[in-house]
Amino acid sequence: MKRITLPGGAAVPALGQGAWHLGEDPVQRDEEIAAIRRGIDLGMTLIDTAEMYGDGKSELLVGEAIQGRRDQVFVVTKVYPHNASRRAMRTACDGSLQRLRIDVIDLYLLHWPGAVPLDETVEAFEALRQNGKIRHWGVSNLDPQLMRSLLAVPGGKAVQTDQVLYNLAHRGVEWDLLPLLRRHRIPAMAYSPLEQGRLLRTRALTVFAKKHGMTPAQVAIAWLLAQEDVIAIPKTGNRQRLEENAGALAHQLAPDHLRELDDLFPPPTGPTPLEMI
């Protein structure tokens, strides 16, 4: 497993697990828990969720899935923007800890920018860290301008990641956001690496995958793993698809593969607004 070192020193797997929509269908619960546990077996020990996902149902499911394996996993969850103030974040964090059934969150992210000033959010994160409720904090869906603002506030340089939409079909972050993050040695976390399955149905990716002996999902994930300082967090609640995703680790894309994919999915030629879903 390729590992990425966060600025705070934590080494995490470059391929983790997302948990958006998991826990929302009781019929699928047992399979979703089994999939998360299988992912842990395969080294995909970074698990990403959020208080928003299913109104806490995703955190509840993740909490059940990691019982007895807490020391093996790196738990990432996210706080609503309206809970990112000094007072509200403390309550939100306690709720996430209770649902996840853990004593400390490994990485706590601001889910997207909101009305609470960034300096107050940083103060709230730092208070939680000093109280031992979180180990690290970061952000999600912050564009270059907001990242520069964050880095300029007191304590802002303690940010560990910016989690953003990034996949073969959405490469706008390569123009300005990723270079900014790399200058500050801040890894990016790529959510929706399979474009919620839509990317896998594109003819270009299907043909490329067949030509090179991979599945479309494995190509999409292997491409992200080939990027510098990028953590990919594909979501699945199915053990078979989980193992398919993990199979991307066996496919290291060569430079000519990457050039071919650049032709099929061109990189940006100029700045674009940050995309998010």
Burial class (CB in 10 A: 0-12, 13-18, 19+), 201: exposed
User: For residue 155, what are its two tokens?
Assistant: 């304590």
In terms of Cα–Cα distance, which of 210, 232, 215, 224 is closest to 258? 224
170 is in an annotated binding site: no
> Which of the residues are catalytic?
53
Report the distance separating Cα 13 and Cα 2, nearest Å: 6
Report the distance separating Cα 100 and Cα 64, nearest Å: 7
Known binding-site positions for substrate: 111
Known binding-site positions: 111
